[in-house]
A and B are shown apart, each in its own frame.
Chain A
Amino acid sequence: MQTTQTRITVRLPEPLREGRGDVITMNAASLGDIIAKLDLADDRDELFNFAVNGDLVLHGEKDVALKDGDEVEIVVAFAGG
């Protein structure tokens, strides 16, 4: 039986690369999956936001559904300077 793969391109910011390069791919059905796979879930101080196909997500991020071929970029969340 064939399973559906949701292949996502993820652009990592410098602090999250850890020898992985700046672009990785992974299977993920939602941003919540990416957060879990990158182990970002519980670290409150790691201030990163996600942009899906260039659109920044400001709330409800774990529930944002992804489709095959989506590009996710992780950016430092920063709004005051």
Chain B
Amino acid sequence: MSIRARIDALFPRLASEQQFPTQGQTIFVDLERQEIRRAWIPHRVVTALLGGRGVNMFLLHNLLDETLEPIDPEVPLIFGTGILTSMVPSASRGNVTSWSPESRVLMDSNAGDYFPSFMKLNGIDHLVLYGKAPKWTLLHFEGDQPKFVDASPFVGLDNIDLRAKIANDFNGVEGKDYGLAAITTAGENLVLCSGIMAGPKAIYARGGPGAKMGALNLKAVLIQGRSADLSTARPHKLRNRDVAVKLLNTSVVKNALKKRGTPFLYKPSRMLGAMGTKNNQETTWTDKLDAENIDPYRPGMEGCFACPVNCRPLNDMSMLGESGVGSRESESPTTIHDKYVKGDGPEYVTLGKFGPNVGITEVTQVLRLNNICNDLGLDTASTGSAISWAMELYQRGIITREQTQIDLEWGNYETIEQLLFMTAKREGFGDVIADSSQAVAMGKYPAESLAYLMAVKGLTQSDPHDARILKAFALGLAVATRGMDHLRNRVTLEINAKINDSPDFKAELYGGPVSAEPNSYEGKETAVRRCENIYAVGDSVGMCRFTTKLFNSPSLPGYEEFADQVANVTGIELTNEAIDHIGLNVMGVERLINAKLGITRADDTLPKRWFEEAIGVGPYKGEKIDRGEFDKMLSRFYAISNLTEEGVPTPEWREELEGVLTA
């Protein structure tokens, strides 16, 4: 059945008018025929899946033809904005969803900055894009009215120049006048580790969304203006003040996120002996990359739409900024004064993936690679992982200089920088990196290479933390529906000794007893289940993960605040239990989609290395994952998640979900 026939079949099950105050439209855009259809998500779907990521799954489940290839323009690319996005402090996020060309399972990636908020501000809750545009296109919404603009003047531009040209040509300021989601040359060249840039650094990163958008011949989506009537069902601003106060009073926000951002994580991971190094062959690295060593290069912090936290560190290696930070004396003699001398970031992920994971020890080199990736639209997690995988293969002689034509020794900064540009253009060995985890399937590496690929379900690990020690982290990475990614369910508080030593408090947090010992398998399924639910709800309301309860703090806004503001904004009343069940539903639909794509229990696993090679340093030296214990933990996780032993929703629950999805 074609995508147009699938949409025809779906339409009678959608609503023809707004279902609640502030609800935006779902707009179906046929890029090939330049046709538009509009509908609203029905109330019964909203009460089961809320919005954002959850409703994206409803749409994908209905529109996916799994007999095609992920890159096929008949497989839609779906943008969604959370039900509270732009309405509540720190709720500035949205998701993009499809079938991943990189992992070949569910693609679902989240970004903030301004684009998701401008969707909401213009009455667009979901944007379903399909069909290949006859020529490169920029989809320009003024309010909710789209125009198909010839994008040829923008083709070949990367993020820095593209954003400058769009600001100039469309006469506006990003964040104030418009939101922009765009691909770079990497997306144009269908690079599988490329993302969709939602800002100078903000990126829909994981699973190859850049390649997916490139396959539609769609260079950018620009949403200009603030046209929607966002009158709420009940006053919500007073409760917003509570949310903001709660955010700003949380220790982890005050003491870490607002000051240095996520690079704070590097130090505890390194000290634990859990810092993925050289493709996880080692697990600790230099203190030269500790967050405080980035201080001299940080002129300030940035933030997303209406977020009081401002957790994004900026960087400036020129030391010529007006902020007064840094000094000529601390400037590296090797600093290159080009457009990459300053930028936005890095996050911890980039610090780890382009530091220890590739053998780099210098802060300024990591900062520069970060700035280049932001410009080239490369997902630093996937790209860094693909490079470290190649480096290990080179180290082992599985690939040779003869094949690569470049020196892939660990820590070879010049090669890594060069390789990023080659990857974006698919030139030389960059064409291999551009195939990311699919390099073996594409015939570019021998099959034995898969033994060294740090990936689950075809997606390389999102963050640098080596999870052989903390078994809850390991389980989370194994069961995450989009592949090996910590942002779906990480029980981050397992690293907190004070909470581990408070069994009653810990049991209350997770809804059941969880072992105090981070390397124990006992009860970890309970903690992962609770985190997976609340994070799925967070993505569906549009809340940032960093400011969602359980992600680094028990004190951040959670179900209570989400339920209150959903009621105030939309008039839809949900109990805490109901909202928790929505989180479970989102995971359930994602597992139904993955099942259609052939995913089974065997795919809820971990890289071979973590089962077979022990950690060699630190307080948990000797630790690895025991296959038998892991398997038992996985079964327990399925049992409390309403899943069968094969990891799909039980027949009764499946019937309930399909009632929502297809009724």
Instruction: Name the distance in Å between A56's Cβ and chain B's nearest Cβ.
Output: 4
* B347 & A81 in contact (Cβ 8 Å cutoff): yes
Residues of chain A within 8 A of B555, CB atoms compared: 44-45
Instruction: Name the distance in Å between A42's Cβ and chain B's nearest Cβ.
Output: 10
Contacts known (A47-B552, A47-B553, A59-B501); A78 close to B252, Cβ less than 8 A:
yes
A57 in the interface (beta carbon within 8 A): yes
User: What separation, in Å, do the CA atoms of A35 and B500 have in the docked complex?
Assistant: 15
User: What separation, in Å, do the CA atoms of A73 and B290 have in the docked complex?
Assistant: 14
Residues of chain B within 8 A of A73, CB atoms compared: 271
B157 in the interface (beta carbon within 8 A): no
Residues of chain A within 8 A of B251, CB atoms compared: 15, 45-47
* Contact residues of A between 13 and 36, Cβ < 8 Å to B: 13-15
Instruction: Name the distance in Å between B308's Cβ and chain A's nearest Cβ.
Output: 18
Per-residue contact bits, chain A 36-59, to B (CB 8 Å; 1 contact, 0 not): 000000001111111100111111
Residues of chain A within 8 A of B546, CB atoms compared: 80-81
Contacts known (A15-B254, A80-B551); A51 close to B494, Cβ less than 8 A:
no
Residues of chain B within 8 A of A15, CB atoms compared: 251, 254-255
* A81 & B518 in contact (Cβ 8 Å cutoff): no
Contacts known (A50-B497, A78-B264, A81-B463); A56 close to B347, Cβ less than 8 A:
no
User: What separation, in Å, do the CA atoms of A49 and B264 have in the docked complex?
Assistant: 13
User: What separation, in Å, do the CA atoms of A80 and B618 have in the docked complex?
Assistant: 20
* Contact residues of A between 63 and 81, Cβ < 8 Å to B: 73, 75-81
Write the residues of chain A forming the contact surface with B, with a CB cutoff of 8 angstroms. Answer: 13-15, 44-51, 54-62, 73, 75-81
Q: List 22 A-B contacts (CB under 8 A).
A: A44-B502, A44-B555, A45-B251, A45-B554, A45-B555, A49-B495, A49-B496, A49-B497, A54-B271, A55-B619, A56-B268, A58-B272, A58-B494, A58-B495, A58-B500, A60-B497, A62-B501, A76-B256, A78-B256, A79-B495, A80-B487, A80-B546
* A77 & B496 in contact (Cβ 8 Å cutoff): yes
B250 in the interface (beta carbon within 8 A): yes
* A45 & B553 in contact (Cβ 8 Å cutoff): yes
* A57 & B348 in contact (Cβ 8 Å cutoff): no
* A81 & B516 in contact (Cβ 8 Å cutoff): no
Residues of chain A within 8 A of B517, CB atoms compared: 58-59
Per-residue contact bits, chain B 487-529, to A (CB 8 Å; 1 contact, 0 not): 1001011111110111001000000000011100000000000
Instruction: Name the distance in Å between A5's Cβ and chain B's nearest Cβ.
Output: 26
Closest chain A residue, CB of each to CB of B473: A79
* A75 & B267 in contact (Cβ 8 Å cutoff): yes
Residues of chain A within 8 A of B494, CB atoms compared: 58, 79
Residues of chain A within 8 A of B470, CB atoms compared: 79
User: What separation, in Å, do the CA atoms of A73 and B264 have in the docked complex?
Assistant: 14
* A78 & B497 in contact (Cβ 8 Å cutoff): no
Q: Top 3 closest A-B pairs, CB basis?
A: A81-B262, A80-B492, A79-B495
Contacts known (A49-B268, A49-B496, A78-B268); A55 close to B250, Cβ less than 8 A:
no
* A78 & B552 in contact (Cβ 8 Å cutoff): yes
B408 in the interface (beta carbon within 8 A): no
Secondary structure class of chain B's binding surface, majority of residues: helix
Residues of chain A within 8 A of B254, CB atoms compared: 15
Instruction: Name the distance in Å between B507's Cβ and chain A's nearest Cβ.
Output: 15
Instruction: Name the distance in Å between A14's Cβ and chain B's nearest Cβ.
Output: 7
Instruction: Name the distance in Å between A48's Cβ and chain B's nearest Cβ.
Output: 8
* A77 & B497 in contact (Cβ 8 Å cutoff): yes
Per-residue contact bits, chain B 348-378, to A (CB 8 Å; 1 contact, 0 not): 1100000000000000000000000000000
Instruction: Name the distance in Å between A39's Cβ and chain B's nearest Cβ.
Output: 14
B265 in the interface (beta carbon within 8 A): yes
* B265 & A56 in contact (Cβ 8 Å cutoff): no
Instruction: Name the distance in Å between A62's Cβ and chain B's nearest Cβ.
Output: 7
Of A44, A59, A62, A77, which is within 8 A of B268 by CB?
A77
Closest chain B residue, CB of each to CB of A58: B518
User: What separation, in Å, do the CA atoms of A56 and B283 have in the docked complex?
Assistant: 14
Residues of chain B within 8 A of A79, CB atoms compared: 265, 268-269, 465, 470, 473, 490, 492-496, 552
Q: Which of A44, A61, A62, A80 is the most central at the interface, judged by chain B CB atoms within 10 Å of its CB?
A: A80
Of A55, A56, A76, which is within 8 A of B255 by CB?
A76
* B497 & A61 in contact (Cβ 8 Å cutoff): yes
* A60 & B463 in contact (Cβ 8 Å cutoff): no
* A47 & B465 in contact (Cβ 8 Å cutoff): no
* Contact residues of B between 242 and 260, Cβ < 8 Å to A: 250-252, 254-256, 259
Per-residue contact bits, chain B 85-101, to A (CB 8 Å; 1 contact, 0 not): 00000000000000000
Instruction: Name the distance in Å between A32's Cβ and chain B's nearest Cβ.
Output: 10
Residues of chain B within 8 A of A48, CB atoms compared: 498
Residues of chain A within 8 A of B473, CB atoms compared: 79
Q: A54-B271, A81-B264 are in contact. List 7 more A-B contacts (CB 8 A).
A: A13-B255, A15-B255, A44-B554, A47-B552, A55-B271, A76-B255, A79-B495
Closest chain B residue, CB of each to CB of A54: B271
Closest chain B residue, CB of each to CB of A81: B262
Residues of chain A within 8 A of B255, CB atoms compared: 13-15, 47, 76
B486 in the interface (beta carbon within 8 A): yes
Q: Which of B261, B493, B497, B555 is the most central at the interface, judged by chain A CB atoms within 10 Å of its CB?
A: B497
* Contact residues of B between 449 and 479, Cβ < 8 Å to A: 463, 465, 470, 473
* A81 & B497 in contact (Cβ 8 Å cutoff): no
Of A14, A56, A81, which is within 8 A of B349 by CB?
A81
User: What separation, in Å, do the CA atoms of A20 and B141 have in the docked complex?
Assistant: 56
User: What separation, in Å, do the CA atoms of A59 and B496 have in the docked complex?
Assistant: 8
Residues of chain A within 8 A of B349, CB atoms compared: 81
